[in-house]
Amino acid sequence: MLQIKKKNLLSAFVFIFLAVVCSLAYSPSTEAKPSSDRLELEQTFRKFHGTLVLKNLNTNQVYTFNPE
């Protein structure tokens, strides 16, 4: 009876250890995130009848430039 409890305790310890390791491996702090500087520089471009439209993804401001 005592050996069964030790086996269950060991299995539980291994399961908890693996859960902690997996959660640390996939924590948001280790995921690749763009820095705030990069977010400010990242913009969406599209052509619309010869006018270049830029949208800042942080502030949702839209800038239009007419090359003519």
pLDDT at 62 over 70: yes
Q: Residue 52 has what pLDDT?
A: 65
Residue 40 near residue 58 (C-beta atoms within 8 A): yes
Give the C-alpha distances (Å, rounded to integers) separating 21 from 8, 15, 17, 18, 25. Answer: 20, 10, 6, 5, 6
| b/e 37-60 (16+ beta carbons within 10 angstroms → b) | eeeeeeeeeeeeeeeeeeeeeeee
Model confidence pLDDT, tens digit, residues 8-57: 777 778 888 877 777 766 655 545 555 554 444 454 444 445 566 677 77
Stretch (H or E) spanning 54: strand 51-56
This prediction's pTM:
0.35
Q: What is the mean pLDDT of residues 62-67?
A: 69
